[in-house]
Amino acid sequence: MTAPHADQLIGQYVTRLEAALSSVAPARRSELVADVRNHIAEARSELAGETDADVLNILDRLGDPAEMAAAEMERTEPAAPGRKESRVLEIASIVLLLLFWPVGVILLWLSKTWTTRDKLIGTLVPPGGYLGALLLGAVLAYGAFSPMCRTITDSAGHVLSSSCPSDAAQTSFNVIAVLLALFYLVGPIFTTAYLVARLKKREAYPATPLGAASIIGA
Amino acid sequence: MALESLVTQMRKGALEYCVLALLTQPRYGFEIVQRLGQIDGMLTSEGTIYPLLGRLRRDGLVDTDWRESPTGPPRRYYALTAEGRRNLRAFRNEWSTFRTAVDAILKSGATS
């Protein structure tokens, strides 16, 4: 049996909870609201014949939404200073991505600071870093300077057939070459800035667990 | 008043490790609340357990997964990670040293 005003009472409580959690990130807020709704559903399922008083009792035991919000804010405070981790691996990785890409990439994937998305961007924008740029440059130069026209002549020197790539093909080759060159020039600058920004963000909000000693030592 | 705030702080600090201790086997949120509710004074507002569980997960001390419930909506289960197990072990040691030390001093103060 359902209490006459169960939906109304629970709705009011959830509205107050959502308001109290207004400064929490939306995804996390809806997760907490879902946790509370599940909690209420579990508590109600244990009652044989529920009354409004039973529902009010469940909500009362959950406590003031403001208290829950306070607990959530306190739990997301940045960790105390003095627990800063060393960033040697990350800095070496960023520098080597520019100077010697293969080693830089290995360090990048060894680091636990960046997410997989960060690592993919670090690896693929651009692939090979400046080392890749050198290789690509060599290929492009070969393409640009090698003879574009094939001419077949007979033993007497008469031209039998001649084929040159069309102007359109030549132009699109040039456009692709310029775009690739730009990508390889700008890519590493973007990637370096991006990885440094992500590193700084992680330093501001590190996920360091509270040490066992800190509650006793405090 | 200072004593009241000390007790609040101690309870708050210990609660985190009591939750870790309960999670040596997988449990869902409401089950954790019920377990803690059996011990008087451990959990004053049941709702505050959810921010705590969220932080334990963010810190990598517990893992979560969804499982079907025989009665209602699916349940989010929490269980210790290797890191959580390490933290719990460290707390057990610290706690028993601390408790023994305080007990010894309280007792010696009473008899001399």
Complex-level ipTM:
0.89
**Is there a contact between A63 and B90 (Cβ–Cβ < 8 Å)?**
no
Distance between B107 CA and the closest CA of chain A, angstroms: 20
Query: Which residues in A lie closer than 8 A to residue B18 (C-beta atoms)?
Result: none
Query: Which residues in B lie closer than 8 A to residue A63 (C-beta atoms)?
Result: 44-48
pLDDT computed for residue A10 by the predictor: 96
pTM above 0.95, yes or no: no
Asked if B10 and A62 come within 8 Å (Cβ–Cβ), the reply is: no
Using CA coordinates, name the residue in chain B closest to A72.
B51
Using CA atoms of A11, A12, A14, A15 in order, give the dihedral in degrees to the nearest 10.
110
| SS3 sequence of A29-95 | HHHHHHHHHHHHHHHHHCCCCCCHHHHHHHHHHHCCHHHHHHHHHHHCCCCCCCCCCCCHHHHHHHH
Q: Using CA atoms, how far apart are residues A185 and A196, in angstroms rounded to an integer?
A: 18
Tokens, residue A198: 């992500």
Distance between B111 CA and the closest CA of chain A, angstroms: 26
Q: Using CA atoms, how far apart are residues A63 and B41, in angstroms rounded to an integer?
A: 14
- Stronger pLDDT, A154 or B19, i.e. the higher one: B19
Q: Using CA atoms, how far apart are residues A203 and B92, in angstroms rounded to an integer?
A: 30
Determine the residue among A39, A57, A115 to mutate to test chain B binding: the one whose Cβ has the most chain B Cβ atoms within 10 Å.
Answer: A39
pLDDT-based confidence at residue A185 (cuts at 50, 70, 90): confident
| B46 closest CB neighbour out of A61, A72, A210 | A61
pLDDT score of A15 more than 60: yes
One-letter identity of residue A130 = Y
Distance between A60 CA and the closest CA of chain B, angstroms: 8
Asked if B30 and A42 come within 8 Å (Cβ–Cβ), the reply is: yes
Q: Using CA atoms, how far apart are residues A102 and A129, in angstroms rounded to an integer?
A: 9
